[in-house]
Amino acid sequence: MLDPIEMPLETPTRILVVDDDDAFRESVCAAIARDDAMVLAAQVGNAESARAAIAGGEFDVALVDLGLPDGNGIDLIREIARTRPDADVMVVTVFGDEAHVLASIEAGATGYLLKRSLNDTLGATVRELRAGGSPISPVIARQLLHRFKKDSPTPSTPAVVDDGGLSEREREVLLFIAKGFTVGEIANMLHLSAHTVATHVKHIYRKLAVHSRTEAVFEAGRMGLL
């Protein structure tokens, strides 16, 4: 879905794999091994080992499955986002459905992969992600618009970047994606590079995560927890 972006990578991207499905891990490891641009940092099958790997290991991208036998993948994503802000987290999902993906993005993930097409898309997606772009589906774009619209103070207030609201351009990009246009088509229409459009998406994801965190702090404060 993302237009390939050629970018010379001096050092291979280190990948941390967290999934309880052995066959899948093997398959991912094989895919990483096939690609010169990627190198395996660690592969773990449960949340406990994952925490150890996050605390100690060096990695640039973490592939995280949400359903782990001893914990919730969302918590792991949150932890990585907190302790390793320079790393990217990709959530591994079977259907790429809005519920799973948005929850992961709120926790701090900036990308997601469909499990079944992982072999074909892993390399491209990781490269895109490291270059600053994130994948996005029309349903997720629509939900993001909905989420930010609901939270913006008044409809007449212009969107402000810093406070968790969307900029006009970001809103425009989301709207086009929600209407089924690809990143490439949007880039053409807005006279931007495909890369810029993809970076907008990643920015929006980050905003949502920040937004969710401040919202959580606000909620906690309101409930007297802070």
Partner 1 sequence: MSRGRRVLVDFLRAPSAAWARACALWFALALATFAAARAGVPAEAPGTAPAARTITQAEFCMAPGLSDTWPDAACSWKTVDLAKVWHAPRRDVPMADAWFRLRFHLEAVPRHGLALYTVAFNRSGRVFVNGSLLREVGAMRDPLPLNWNRSQYVEVPALMLHAGDNEIEIQQRIHTWEVGWLAPVRLGSQDELRPVWQSRVFWQNDTVRLLGSCTGAFGLFMLGVWLGRRRDAMYFWFACVALSWTVQCLDSYAELAPLPPLLWEQVIESMPVLRGVLMLTFVLRYGGMRWPRVEAIAWAYFLLGAVAIFGDAMPPIGLNLWFLGSLVASVFILVLQVRLGLRRSRLEGVLLASAGILAMMLNTHDLWMFSEDTWADRFYLAHFGASLYLIVIGTILVRRFTESFNAHENLAAVLEQRVDEKAAELARNYEQLVEARRNEALALERGRIMSEMHDGIGSQLTMALSLVRQLDRDAHPERAGEDGRVATVLRESIEDLQLIIDSLEPVENDLLTVLGTLRYRLQDRLGKGGIDLQWNVVDLPPLPMLTPHSVLSILRIVQEAFANSLKHSGASQIAVTTRLQGEAGVDEMAHIGIVDNGRGIDLSRGAGRGLENMRRRAAALGGRLKILSQPGRTEIWLEFPTLRPGPA
Residues with Cβ within 8 Å of 211's Cβ and at least 6 positions away in sequence, in order, are 148, 151, 164
Place of tokens 């794999």: 17
For the chain, what is the largest distance between any 2 Cα atoms, rounded to a whole number of angstroms? Answer: 52
Least Å from the CB of residue 118 to partner 1: 9
Question: Does 27 sit near partner 1 (CB under 8 A)?
Answer: yes
CA atoms within 13 A on the CB side of 43: 16
| 97 is a site residue for partner 1 (CB under 8 A) | yes
With respect to partner 1, which residue has the nearer C-beta, 166 or 177? 177
Sign, Cα dihedral of 106, 46, 97, 89: positive
Pick 12 or 67: Cβ nearer partner 1? 67
Length of the chain: 226
Is 163 a residue that touches partner 1 (CB under 8 A)? no
Cα–Cα separations (whole angstroms), residue 129 to 113, 120, 138:
11, 15, 19
DSSP E strand boundaries for the chain: 13-18, 38-44, 61-65, 67-68, 71-72, 88-93, 111-114
Q: Is 5 in the site for partner 1 (CB under 8 A)?
A: no
In the chain, the amino acid numbered 178 is: A
Does position 178 interact with partner 1 (CB under 8 A)? The reply is yes
**Per CB under 8 A, which of residues 101..130 are in contact with partner 1?**
115-117, 119-121
Interface pick for partner 1 out of 98, 167, 169, 196 (rule CB under 8 A): 98
Tokens standing for residue 32: 């990483």
Regarding 33 and contact with partner 1 (CB under 8 A), the answer is no
23 binding partner 1? (CB under 8 A): yes
Q: Does 143 sit near partner 1 (CB under 8 A)? A: yes
Smallest gap from Cβ 51 to partner 1, in A, equals: 21
- Taking CB under 8 A as the binding criterion, the range among 8-16, 31-39, 140-148, 199-207 that sits at the site for partner 1 is 140-148
Given the rule CB under 8 A, which residues bind partner 1?
Answer: 1, 21, 23-24, 27, 67, 93-95, 97-100, 115-117, 119-121, 137-139, 142-143, 146, 177-182, 185
